[in-house]
A and B are shown apart, each in its own frame.
Chain A
Amino acid sequence: MTPVGENPLLEASFLQRLQRLQLLVRRPLPGQWKGEHRSPKRGYNVEFADFREYTPGDDLRYVDWKAYGRLDRLYLKQYVEEEDIYVLLLVDCSRSMRFGQPSKLLFALQVASAIGHIALCRFHRVGAGLIADGKVLWMRPVRGKQSLIPLLRFLGTPPEATGTALHQSAQQVVTGWKRRGAVYLLTDLMDERWDTALRTLLAPRHELTLIHTLSPQEIHPDLMGDLLLVDSETGETREVSLSPTALSLYQRALQQMRDHASALCGHFGGNYLLADSSQSLEHFILREMRVRGVLA
């Protein structure tokens, strides 16, 4: 397990390359301030959106006088509003995430940092939550490039945790984060009630992007023979006699888990990405996430 604190999450050269990217959020999300994301609100931008009848108090500058001439009724022209969005970075910091070479947690924190940097560059509001032992360690939403340092500092000090309790953490996220926004959840889903947690997060109509972070040892386990498997989080043990047949059963179970998670995210308009922690961060951010329509 690689200590996260000893690794710089993002290098300066890589940060510069990230500035050209932007988050692809499909659904309109309400923001607070002007920004670059199309808001569900109607505003006064150049891009026409809709008409609506005039009501007293509306700004007469936006009355469509040509329509009034034809129809003898007052209609107001509405334009698309572009606002910032709330971006929430959720990183699972349980002990299982510290597995892999390199560690899954390090990889997840780097990805979260990269997404946060992209969002800050686009003037979105970025909040973060580190999930551990059923609790969420919050960082309040920040905005602007100058907030990158506090964000990296926050993500660079994950708490020492044992268990996940992802569903409990999801409940806390829903109650603690009232704004609809783009939620990026980086976890290995190693929790018995992971699907409940996903449903909880998807219920407030967040645009959830699940980055399923697994180590190569989990994707293709190199285990064989008579073993005593020990759960790193609970200490629970299982005696197994592994054979090629047993490993194929494991692969099938993993694939079922991925399919289920992907279907759940898709059903609620979210995204699902499998992240192999052994791949390079640049490749994942600059290629994988763009191919899968998470970044542009």
Chain B
Amino acid sequence: MRFVEVWNLLWFVPIGGAILALYILRLRRRRVEVPAILLWTQVVQDFQANVPWQRLRKHWLLLAQLLAGLLLVFGVAQPYTRAWIYSGEAHVLVLDGSASMLATDVSPNRFEQARAMAREYIQKMPPGDQAAIVLAGARPRVLCGLTYNRTELLRTLKNARPAETGMNFAESLALAGALVTPFAAPSIEVFTDGGFPEPRDIDTGRARVQYHTVGNPAENAGIVAVDLREDRDAPGRFDLFAAIRHNSARERHGTVELWRGDNLIDAQEVTLPPKSEATVLFRQLIPAERPDELRVRLDWRDALACDNTAYAVLHPVREVKVLLVTRGNLFLETALNLHPRVVVRKVASPPTAETASLYDVVVFDNVQPSSPPTGGAVIIGELPEWFPVVPLKPVENSVVVDWQNTHPIMRYVDLASVRLNKATPVLPKPGAETLMEVNEGAVMVSVQKSNRRWLLITFDITSSDLPLRVAFPVMMLNALRWLTAPLESGERGLVTAGGLAIIPVPGEHQKIHLRLPDGHTTELSVQDQMAPFEDTLQTGIYRCTETGYLFAVNLTQREETDLTVNRYTSQAPSGISAGMKKVLARREWWQWLAGIALAVLLLEWIMYHRRW
């Protein structure tokens, strides 16, 4: 026998103690004067309160009360056994906990209505049926596994909280389906506003999917994208970009405000045509010495509040120290020096590990690194043995045939028809990503290993026409940016709600504390100078207490801002096998214990009045 809430057994200590104390202590009796106690003496012999401890001897009432208390405590601990049983219906209640469920088009909001519907569904479930609750969101979570216990289900439902995140409905539905795989004819009940694309081809096994739709179509406008980029015309200054989506059939005017900390620093009038999207740009924001909180706010009220504000963090600009190990490469030096924030120091021989650790990036131009670099590194024209690639046969006069244009290094880069005089193609091992290819294999590979990032160019760039292309300085600047940022999100400090935030933690911290937008603090473990945090369920600014690092979490989900209510029809799976199936399920015994406890109490009551 196991217990759901084993710690509740400890309640027997105070309860049993209280029962004993009540027996030990004398009752406070009402004082009544009678003419004489002559006749009462014959009656009261059995009822006299004697010396305290004597009452405990052979006292059936006390034993009965202690037994009843013990049974009740066992019941509260919810003992259960696992047994093969013929299952009744199994239900999975999928509760939409995404941001759109916070819309107030219905009172008090869509989530509360969905909660009420789910509660009613649980209360009307036939006896013998079991149910589970899944909270759907950016990452679906099983709030309560399959159980017959209605009280536990209702309690779990009461404690469910929506998040200011998007919705991954396919994953939620798949998770719900997996919960009821062993059952013959389960059902998945989705309580949602339908604010997601129509689900198709989601394998839910034999489960029938039933939608319970809440909410009404409501007008809403919100910020669906926000980004902070360095101004191309003014290095060291940043532009804040925000996209605003409007789902109403009417035109809307309003003001978009930019707040820096507690100060309103800019505002722009916007006019949003019906069902349109507009962008605003706040230009040339100058970073301070410390990270600054930026807030873009729409000055109107609508059904959904959490998408009316977007957050960003303006990090201070710092110099990028680059150590160039080369015997001379004009193209490379020029490209690296193009950016005013990059400080390049040139040496001819490979640096020691201690020297290399002083620089953000070490560029090895036709020089073999003595050991794997501990930070960012670019290795050109050499193939270290420890690099996760397999060298292939060198080739001559090859042409670049493909490049990974979605990679940050390859952003705005066009490598079409770049010719390589000599190159050694390689085959990337797991962990390495191909960025540039010739017919025979990869010639540019990136590796990201915890907080270390390396870029390998397998050919001598001076024996190609790459340095002559516009793409070369752009690619090198992208490379420097990628190599110096531990992670993309960490650099810009922008995370989509529900997404993973990687917090860089320089120094020797083993644990850090993260202050959430609502003021609560959570503790995170640090590994390889990084602390992953995935519970980005609130929009706003998150602050690391130890390092002062800030990052912003924004909803920026078009599906959530668009408060359209989609009423999807139920889906019945094909080939349902009818009938009962034997499944291994949890059988709870608390009802029996509660019944026995009541019987014992009844017996105790009878004993009390019969004076046994």
Task: Please count how many residues in chain B sit with their CB below 8 Å of the partner chain's CB atoms.
Answer: 25
- Name the residue of chain B whose CB is nearest to the CB of A98: B35
Interface set, chain A 86-133, CB cutoff 8 A to B = 95-97, 99-100, 104
| A229 near B44: Cβ-Cβ < 8 Å | yes
B353 at the interface (CB under 8 A from A): no
- Name the residue of chain A whose CB is nearest to the CB of B611: A245
| A218 near B35: Cβ-Cβ < 8 Å | yes
In angstroms, Cα B29 to Cα A225, docked, is: 9
| A250 near B38: Cβ-Cβ < 8 Å | no
| A245 near B44: Cβ-Cβ < 8 Å | no
| A239 near B36: Cβ-Cβ < 8 Å | no
In angstroms, Cα B190 to Cα A39, docked, is: 111
- CB neighbours of A232 from chain B (8 A): 33-36
| A229 near B39: Cβ-Cβ < 8 Å | no
- Name the residue of chain A whose CB is nearest to the CB of B33: A230
> Which residue from A104, A221, A239, A254 sits with its C-beta under 8 Å from B29?
A239
Interface set, chain A 204-222, CB cutoff 8 A to B = 215, 218, 221
A190 at the interface (CB under 8 A from B): yes
- CB neighbours of A245 from chain B (8 A): 609-611
- CB neighbours of B610 from chain A (8 A): 245
Q: Given A243-B611, A244-B609, are A228 and B41 neighbors across the interface (CB < 8 Å)?
A: no
In angstroms, Cα B41 to Cα A190, docked, is: 12
| B611 near A246: Cβ-Cβ < 8 Å | yes
- CB neighbours of A230 from chain B (8 A): 31-34, 37
B330 at the interface (CB under 8 A from A): no
B232 at the interface (CB under 8 A from A): no
B572 at the interface (CB under 8 A from A): no
A58 at the interface (CB under 8 A from B): no
A24 at the interface (CB under 8 A from B): no
| A238 near B41: Cβ-Cβ < 8 Å | yes
- CB neighbours of B33 from chain A (8 A): 229-230, 232
- CB neighbours of B43 from chain A (8 A): 240, 246, 249-250, 253
In angstroms, Cα B40 to Cα A218, docked, is: 11
| B29 near A190: Cβ-Cβ < 8 Å | no
B49 at the interface (CB under 8 A from A): yes
- Name the residue of chain B whose CB is nearest to the CB of A240: B44
Q: Given A229-B44, A238-B44, are A223 and B32 neighbors across the interface (CB < 8 Å)?
A: yes
> Which residue from B32, B35, B611 sits with its C-beta under 8 Å from A227?
B32
- Name the residue of chain A whose CB is nearest to the CB of B27: A226
- CB neighbours of A228 from chain B (8 A): 29-32
> Which residue from B26, B27, B34, B42 sits with its C-beta under 8 Å from A249?
B42
B47 at the interface (CB under 8 A from A): yes
Interface set, chain B 561-612, CB cutoff 8 A to A = 608-611
- CB neighbours of B41 from chain A (8 A): 238
| A229 near B37: Cβ-Cβ < 8 Å | yes
Measured CB to CB, the closest approach of chain B to A49, in angstroms, equals 47
Task: Please count how many residues in chain A sit with their CB below 8 Å of the partner chain's CB atoms.
Answer: 40
Measured CB to CB, the closest approach of chain B to A183, in angstroms, equals 23
- Name the residue of chain A whose CB is nearest to the CB of B49: A239
In angstroms, Cα B34 to Cα A95, docked, is: 10
- CB neighbours of A257 from chain B (8 A): 39
| B39 near A226: Cβ-Cβ < 8 Å | no
Q: Given A226-B29, A241-B47, are A231 and B36 neighbors across the interface (CB < 8 Å)?
A: yes
- Name the residue of chain B whose CB is nearest to the CB of A233: B36
In angstroms, Cα B42 to Cα A254, docked, is: 10
| A246 near B36: Cβ-Cβ < 8 Å | no
Interface set, chain A 238-271, CB cutoff 8 A to B = 238-246, 249-250, 253-254, 257
In angstroms, Cα B47 to Cα A245, docked, is: 11
- CB neighbours of B44 from chain A (8 A): 229, 238-240, 246
| A229 near B609: Cβ-Cβ < 8 Å | no
A236 at the interface (CB under 8 A from B): yes
- Name the residue of chain B whose CB is nearest to the CB of A235: B33
CB-defined interface of B38-80 with A at 8 Å, one 1/0 digit per residue? 1111111001110000000000000000000000000000000
- CB neighbours of A288 from chain B (8 A): none
- CB neighbours of A160 from chain B (8 A): none
Q: Given A228-B31, A244-B609, A245-B611, are A254 and B39 neighbors across the interface (CB < 8 Å)?
A: yes
- CB neighbours of A249 from chain B (8 A): 42-43
A188 at the interface (CB under 8 A from B): yes
Measured CB to CB, the closest approach of chain A to B63, in angstroms, equals 18
- CB neighbours of A238 from chain B (8 A): 37, 40-41, 44, 48
Measured CB to CB, the closest approach of chain A to B37, in angstroms, equals 5
| A190 near B48: Cβ-Cβ < 8 Å | no
- Name the residue of chain B whose CB is nearest to the CB of A221: B34
A191 at the interface (CB under 8 A from B): yes
- Name the residue of chain A whose CB is nearest to the CB of B35: A96
A53 at the interface (CB under 8 A from B): no
- CB neighbours of A250 from chain B (8 A): 39-40, 43
Measured CB to CB, the closest approach of chain A to B249, in angstroms, equals 74
Measured CB to CB, the closest approach of chain B to A193, in angstroms, equals 10
Known contacts A231-B34, A232-B33; can you find 13 more A-B pairs with CB under 8 A?
A104-B35, A226-B30, A227-B31, A229-B37, A229-B44, A230-B37, A239-B29, A244-B609, A245-B609, A246-B611, A249-B43, A250-B39, A253-B42
Sample (9) of A-B pairs whose CB atoms are under 8 Å apart: A191-B36, A223-B32, A225-B30, A226-B29, A230-B31, A240-B40, A240-B43, A242-B47, A245-B610
What is the interface of chain B, defined by CB distance below 8 A to chain A?
26-27, 29-44, 47-49, 608-611
What is the interface of chain A, defined by CB distance below 8 A to chain B?
95-97, 99-100, 104, 188, 190-192, 215, 218, 221, 223, 225-234, 236-246, 249-250, 253-254, 257
10 nearest interchain CB pairs?
Answer: A96-B35, A190-B36, A228-B29, A239-B49, A99-B35, A240-B44, A231-B37, A249-B43, A230-B33, A241-B47
